[in-house]
Chains A and B, each alone.
Chain A
């Protein structure tokens, strides 16, 4: 590509990456490329809310936490927004009413109407010593949510008299808000002319009824980090690969035990989606969505697999697929389609209709389950001493049904499996495999369905 063309593309990408606009009524934001489809498929139970929570060493002081929240939202004006419909696209309208803390419930991430007017696109919930931030995926990904939670904790402890000499990477109120924090990084790094990702076969789904009454079961476990690391090293793979392999094996077992009718109804492919934080490939400060995924697929008809074989298979697939050039194909597919004039000028109600079909046929049908690993969370030592644990709960989904999220805090790994179906087979097989590998799995009490 010539320098002039490259410069023109860069300028065009920059223009498309701008998400904040201003008119005579003030600021407003557009959704990033990954988020545009989410409002169309969001419902009260398929909320697209995911959750990060911190459990402190003392019951949370509600008044103090409310003050901390008021301060925190000032630092994140691009999160203090409500969803609105435009004629062609969804928009995010800034809100001037600060959100109130809410009491937590037994079923996290459920019963949330993102389309409701005056409804900010996240909520902060309290229960005892736990403070939980539930964010809508149309607004941000795990990186944005954990940043917000860290600022909230920092403010809470500062108000409580715990001062940090160095807040580190925590965003502190009073700092200037950079425009890069809400850029659409997908558009910024869009490369034209690259083919989109290959279409995958339909994925196998667990044959179990969906729980009623907005129930979302979380099976949380604490794993000693040293043990997980040791086991992963013994197989010559990463900790993340180990968890993916365990989840893959759980699904293969489930396939074996399923009826022929169930297999025919869904598919024979086990597709595990592993989200990848694209910030490691492309420099950006964006706290909007900027994650894509690697698909680890295996045809369940191919025969029996020992765990060590699965571990190697997952490891090599992850090494091959987790490459910037390969993942960039997804950016090309997502952003490229949004730049087509016909797509841009199609009214939103038509986009909503086809978006739901596209999401089901092209997205959800290819995935059996996903496992999202946020990695280690770091806090200044003054605060870290007061935080017992972090949890990361995946967004509820009745199509992929049972999904996993992982976060590492100090010397422990916290794994949360969220499920919308009655069957607990995946959770049971997944944790059993980890335990069989010699890892001490400390399960939290699970709410009865």
Chain B
């Protein structure tokens, strides 16, 4: 028995999904015979990638993609810098463009250039928004809004998103619990935003609008959790929302 990751259909012992042509990793001894038969008349293909590429070819494509992106961004960066120098004889507005391009490059190219090194990629991706916002603030000294408002909010968003992703990852069954995790994460972010704004403006810490958000979303999330774990034990989102 094998499951096509794209279509979700059981393709039994077949090596390739008949619908989307995805190569399926054989997961049982019973599939070996089918695989062996298939290998007789075709070149062995790595089971790594979704498009039938070998691991090396796949990584090669990722490098080429990152190179194309880098060159494009480089052209934009050089153009903006030159135009800024010609018009203003100094670097002012182009710095924003350069900073944005650097941030975009990190977010897009680092995962492409460092595949299978998630222990390194995730911290870089998490740190990048802090650096970006701090950099934006530093362009107009003194550093003010980033430390008091932007960075705490980004930290809250990343913390909430990370916890939601962790909870999703740890869930055995993906159904309405994912929606509940998302709602709780959004609620936490709202509370954090209002708290950060209060602290930043030296106002007393009173959660007004975010508490209303929490009062509405938390019961909904609780109901969805209850539904997922108690009622719809055999349901998944894929099944529930099948079209």
Interface residues in A53-94 (C-beta closer than 8 Å to B): 84, 86-89, 91, 93
A23 and B10 contacting across the interface, CB-CB below 8 Å: no
**Complex-state Cα separation, A22 to B239, whole angstroms:** 9
A86 and B10 contacting across the interface, CB-CB below 8 Å: no
Contact of A28 among B1, B19, B239, B243 (CB under 8 A): B239
State the total of A-B contacts with C-beta under 8 angstroms.
Answer: 55
**Complex-state Cα separation, A22 to B12, whole angstroms:** 11
B8 and A23 contacting across the interface, CB-CB below 8 Å: yes
B84 within 8 A of A: no
Q: Mark B199-228, 1 if CB is under 8 A from A, else 0.
A: 000000000000000000000000000000
Nearest CB in chain B: distance from A89 CB, A: 6
Known: A22-B3, A24-B236, A25-B234. A179 touches B12 (CB 8 A): yes
**Complex-state Cα separation, A20 to B241, whole angstroms:** 15
B25 within 8 A of A: no
B236 and A344 contacting across the interface, CB-CB below 8 Å: no
**Complex-state Cα separation, A11 to B7, whole angstroms:** 14
**Complex-state Cα separation, A293 to B113, whole angstroms:** 61
B44 within 8 A of A: no
Contact of B240 among A14, A21, A86, A345 (CB under 8 A): A86
Hey, which chain A residues are within 8 Å of B59, CB to CB?
none
Most chain A beta-carbon contacts within 10 A, residue among B3, B19, B243:
B243
B242 and A86 contacting across the interface, CB-CB below 8 Å: yes
**Complex-state Cα separation, A20 to B1, whole angstroms:** 13
The secondary structure that dominates the A interface is: mixed
Hey, which chain B residues are within 8 Å of A27, CB to CB?
10
A442 within 8 A of B: no
Interface residues in A19-66 (C-beta closer than 8 Å to B): 20-25, 27-28, 30
Hey, which chain A residues are within 8 Å of B7, CB to CB?
15
Nearest CB in chain A: distance from B30 CB, A: 11
A86 and B9 contacting across the interface, CB-CB below 8 Å: no
**Complex-state Cα separation, A350 to B1, whole angstroms:** 36
Contact of B173 among A14, A25, A345 (CB under 8 A): A25
Hey, which chain B residues are within 8 Å of A86, CB to CB?
239-242
A22 and B8 contacting across the interface, CB-CB below 8 Å: yes
Hey, which chain A residues are within 8 Å of B173, CB to CB?
24-25
A14 and B18 contacting across the interface, CB-CB below 8 Å: yes
Contact of A87 among B19, B172, B240 (CB under 8 A): B240
Known: A86-B241, A88-B243. A25 touches B235 (CB 8 A): yes
A24 and B243 contacting across the interface, CB-CB below 8 Å: no
Nearest CB in chain A: distance from B19 CB, A: 5
Contact of A25 among B9, B10, B239, B241 (CB under 8 A): B239
Hey, which chain A residues are within 8 Å of B10, CB to CB?
20-22, 27
Q: Mark B12-29, 1 if CB is under 8 A from A, else 0.
A: 100000110000000000
Nearest CB in chain B: distance from A173 CB, A: 18
B236 and A345 contacting across the interface, CB-CB below 8 Å: no
A-B contact pairs, 9 of them (CB 8 A): A18-B9, A21-B9, A22-B3, A23-B8, A84-B234, A86-B239, A88-B241, A89-B242, A93-B234
Tell me the B residues contacting A by CB distance below 8 Å. Answer: 1, 3, 7-10, 12, 18-19, 172-174, 234-236, 238-243
Complex A-B, nearest 3 residue pairs according to Cβ-Cβ distance, in ascending order: A22-B10, A23-B238, A23-B236
Q: A11-B19, A86-B239, A86-B242 are in contact. List 7 more A-B contacts (CB 8 A).
A: A15-B7, A18-B19, A20-B10, A22-B3, A22-B8, A24-B174, A88-B241
